[in-house]
Amino acid sequence: MQAKLLTVIQNRELVPVGGSKSIPIDIRLICATNQNIHEMVANNMFREDLLYRINTIQIELPPLRSRGDDLILIANYYLNKYSSKYGKKNLTFSSSATNKLMEYHWPGNVRELSHAVERAIIMSDEKIISANDLIVHKSDTNFKLSEKPLSLNEAEKIVISSAIKRNKGNLSAVSKELGIVRQTLYRKMKEYGL
């Protein structure tokens, strides 16, 4: 596959699957990796000629744990995004939550941060997200943690239950808030025993 990609990049043309005629292409190629690409070349896992062909401009992005105050800006971005999605406006992080965000190692980088913030918003009924609302892996922090991550069904049950509480049992308002039809809401409530 790497040899084929190299040929396409060098010749600036490709032959579509099932075709017999070359088509010229004008592209800008952006590549990303979370591996040490030079080690991969040394271990014959990545072609050196392909690396030099794609490596015109190299940008090194430090991992989230090395980003300092940027981490809080990113966390606040996801806080605003998911609080809007789940209808929980004007949420903020407590100082203990901010400290927890800064102290954690974030091996999963931005994806892990995004999921941690979303999970905290789903689980919390308060306007301020506390450190206890942020669930991260046990091996990397001293805070109280959940041993098992939530399944999609568990998260959905929590979201529906929270929406029912917020709307004081008004199922029309709940279905409108969640963006689902009432029949789906009834089915989910029956499925989750709500």
Looking at residue 107, its pLDDT comes to 86
* Cα–Cα dist 186/194, whole Å: 9
What is the pLDDT confidence band of residue 145, given thresholds at 50, 70 and 90? very low
CATH number at residue 117: 1.10.8.60
**Which range marks the domain in which residue 69 is found?**
64-192
Query: Residue 154 half-sphere exposure, CB side, CA atoms within 13 Å?
Result: 6
43 and 136 housed in the same domain: no
Task: Please indicate, yes or no, if residue 10 is contained in any of the structural domains.
Answer: yes
Average pLDDT over residues 128-156: 67
Q: Which residues, in sequence order, are bridge partners of residue 189? A: none
Encoding tokens for residue 67?
A: 């980003």
**pLDDT(146) > 60:** no
90: amino acid identity, one letter: N
Quick: pLDDT tens for 151-163.
Answer: 777 888 888 888 8
Token pair 């029949």: residue: 183
More confident residue, 132 or 138: 132
Average pLDDT over residues 62-74: 84
Task: Please indicate, yes or no, if residue 8 is contained in any of the structural domains.
Answer: yes
42 and 111 housed in the same domain: no
What is the pLDDT confidence band of residue 60, given thresholds at 50, 70 and 90? confident
32 and 112 housed in the same domain: no
Per-residue buried b or exposed e for 107-141, using 16+ beta carbons within 10 Å of the residue's own CB? eeebebbbbbbbbbbbbbeeeebebbbbbbbeeeb
Helix (H, G, I), strand (E, B) or coil at 180: coil
Task: Please indicate, yes or no, if residue 59 is contained in any of the structural domains.
Answer: no
* Cα–Cα dist 174/181, whole Å: 10
Can you give the pTM of this predicted structure? 0.52
